[in-house]
């Protein structure tokens, strides 16, 4: 169920990890000094980063609940899932559908170790140690096939992860590769970091590539993210938006105070 074992030398705690940096910004404990130092440096350039991370997490929870309730979806593949924080995908989905199946995918060995320890007793979840670009492996894995019925609608989640891909990884092509494997009525949840400020795009991209040992892609523009939804019927309203404004629970929901950068995207349905 849990795939190949992890070895101690797979884990490098001296190089900041995107997943562990995100955990720190959310107030988690699954991070190391290198991750904390990198976040504090990043906050000097983009002070809204901590709010951005929290709003991104709330978006994930809202969108899973929405898809489970309004579209009846009970199968989820979470690409680049990160640490299983409280109110993770399976908890939100299984509150609506007790038998909801969730496959978590990540390549960070620390994330995998923690996720497997926490989710080992949940028979409706699986944790895959895989690169999100390897759609053949993810969709063909025995655990995925055990849990996911691809003849029915599936929600494929790419929440705040595609900015980790370089342009040569062709994220738009990756989305098309995923779309063609999904039944009609399936949904893609896609969002990533964008900025309309060229200097922020350049400075943050350079910082993150240097800090994470090139495990980072690029801060993009809204039009580039919109291209990821080609061939999908975007749920309107709200369409593609800054994620804290995607169907907020209340008018008092948290908002960013500044917008050096933002997480931008939405949900598309496979026709």
| Domain-embedded: residue 173 | yes
In a domain, 3, yes or no: no
How far is residue 180's CA from residue 73's CA, in Å, rounded to a whole number? 18
Q: Does residue 102 form part of some domain?
A: yes
Where residue 126 sits, what CATH number does that domain have? Answer: 3.40.50.150
Question: How many residues does this entry show for the chain?
Answer: 271
pLDDT digits (tens, 9 = 90+) for 88-133: 999 999 999 999 999 999 998 888 988 888 877 789 999 999 999 9
Number of domains making up the chain: 1
What pLDDT score was predicted for residue 6? 44
Q: Let me know if residue 256 belongs to a domain.
A: yes
Interatomic CA distance for residues 194 and 197, integer angstroms? 9
Q: Is residue 58 one of the residues assigned to a domain?
A: yes
In a domain, 179, yes or no: yes
Q: Rounded to whole angstroms, how far apart are CA atoms 136 and 142?
A: 12
With 50 as the cut, is the pLDDT of residue 2 above it?
no
> Is 161 a member of any domain?
yes
pLDDT surpasses 80 at 271:
yes
Pairing of strands 101-106, 125-129: parallel
What's the rounded mean pLDDT across residues 231-250? 94
- Name the residue range of residue 187's domain: 8-269
The answer to whether position 38 is within a domain reads yes
Rounded Cα distance, 103 and 149, in Å = 12
Please name every residue paired with 106 in a beta bridge, in sequence order, or none if there are none.
129
27 — alpha (psi -120 to 50), left (phi > 0) or beta? left
């Amino acid at each position: 169920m849990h795939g190949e074992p992890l070895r101690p030398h797979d884990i490098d705690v001296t190089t900041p990890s995107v997943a562990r940096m995100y955990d720190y910004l959310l107030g988690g404990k699954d991070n190391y000094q290198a991750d904390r130092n990198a976040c504090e440096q990043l906050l000097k350039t983009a002070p809204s980063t901590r709010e951005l991370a929290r709003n991104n997490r709330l978006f994930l929870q809202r969108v899973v609940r929405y898809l489970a309730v309004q579209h009846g979806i009970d199968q989820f593949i979470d690409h680049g899932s990160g640490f299983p924080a409280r109110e993770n995908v399976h908890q939100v989905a299984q509150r609506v559908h007790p038998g909801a199946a969730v496959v978590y995918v990540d390549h960070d060995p620390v994330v995998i170790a923690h996720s497997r320890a926490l989710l080992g007793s949940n028979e409706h979840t699986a944790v895959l140690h895989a690169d999100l670009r390897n759609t053949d492996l993810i969709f063909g894995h025995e655990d995925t096939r055990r849990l996911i019925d691809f003849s029915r609608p599936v929600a494929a989640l790419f929440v705040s992860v595609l900015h980790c891909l370089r342009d040569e990884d062709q994220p738009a092509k990756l989305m098309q590769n995923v779309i063609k494997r999904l039944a009609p009525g399936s949904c893609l949840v896609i969002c990533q970091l964008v900025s309309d400020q060229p200097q922020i795009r350049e400075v943050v991209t350079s910082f993150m590539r240097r800090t994470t040992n090139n495990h980072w892609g690029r801060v993009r523009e809204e039009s580039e993210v919109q291209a990821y939804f080609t061939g999908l019927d975007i749920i309107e309203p709200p369409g593609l938006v800054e994620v804290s404004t995607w169907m907020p629970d209340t008018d008092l929901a948290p908002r960013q105070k500044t917008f050096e950068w933002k997480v931008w995207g939405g949900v598309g349905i496979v026709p």
